[in-house]
Structure 1
Amino acid sequence: MDQSVAIQETLEREENCIMAVQCDVLFDDTTESRLLGLVESANEHRIFIYTHRRMAITADDVLLEAIIPISVDFAVVTVSSPEELVVVADTRVRISYKDEELDLKLPFGSNSRLFLSEVNKAWTQVLDYQ
């Protein structure tokens, strides 16, 4: 199911959700499920972070928690332990913006890889404009 539809319903007319991916946010000893949406508007990209009640089908299923601009202050890196590198596993990434960091676990699969690829493309566009 394409959860970007639920995100798109929450956006302004000039905003477009390129794609969405469900993930876990890693805290000290806990994880919480979130829905990430890569959103484009007026030549800028942002990652919208949503809490959700269940599989997000409509805007009623999500609640916007945070927005991270993709700018020169933005970075996303893959974080893996040696054990995770030897087996097929979920992808752990760290998103940072200015002084804030967010550790995520994206499910193994092509949707997560495509999401990260699209985020990388958006960040590369920012760097090209500099």
Structure 2
Amino acid sequence: MDQSVAIQETLAKGENCTIMSPVPIHAVECVSLLNDVRESKLIGLVQQNNEHALFIYSHRRMAITADDVTLDDIIPISYDFSVVEVSSPDELAVVGADTRVRVTFLKEELELKLPFGSHTRLFLSEVNRAWSDVCEQYPKEEPKFDWLAKYRKMSKGLDH
């Protein structure tokens, strides 16, 4: 089931949680590994014009509609953003192991465990492509992310 529909329902007109590659990649379910607390999350790459941001949601069950998700955080993909795969030697030795990534923006850091598979690989490559697009434009045209202001009240930890 494509859970990106639930994310799309939370977005304003002109904002899309859709990545068109050979296979449409919209959102990935993952586990947040913050302070040794594991929490299931839904993460979507959202685009508005030429700007992208990661929208991170909590969810009660399989996210089918906007009522099933709660916006936790938004991480703008700007020059100050990075996503890096991190793994222990034990994880590298296991074929089919989940993918662990560390996402950073300014002083904020988040570690996520994404499911093994091509869906995760395509999602991460689209996130990296969005970041590369920003780097090509910086500093000439730095993203402003004005469209994210309306979400500040809805999100728990969005103080960027």
What TM-score, normalized by structure 1, do the two folds share?
Answer: 0.97
Q: Please tell me whether residue 43 in structure 1 is matched to residue 86 in structure 2.
A: no
Runs of at least 4 residues off by over 6 Å: none
Query: Which among 116, 119, 127 is matched to residue 119 of structure 1?
Result: 127
In the TM superposition, residue 14 of structure 1 has moved relative to its aligned partner by: 1.0
Aligned residue pair count: 130
Q: Distance in 2 between matches of 1:30 and 1:50?
A: 16
RMSD: 0.7
Q: Please tell me whether residue 103 in structure 1 is matched to residue 111 in structure 2.
A: yes
| Residues 24-39 of structure 1: pairs in structure 2 closer than 5 A | 24-39=31-46
Q: Please tell me whether residue 76 in structure 1 is matched to residue 70 in structure 2.
A: no
Q: Distance in 2 between matches of 1:108 and 1:71?
A: 26
In the TM superposition, residue 111 of structure 1 has moved relative to its aligned partner by: 1.1
Q: Distance in 1 between matches of 2:137 and 2:110?
A: 26
CA deviation map 1:15-64 (0-9, x unaligned): 00021000000022220000001000021000000000101111111011
Q: Distance in 1 between matches of 2:43 and 2:117?
A: 15
SS at match of 1:9: helix
> When you count strand as a share of all residues, which structure comes out higher?
1
Q: Please tell me whether residue 128 in structure 1 is matched to residue 115 in structure 2.
A: no
Aligned to 1:6: 6
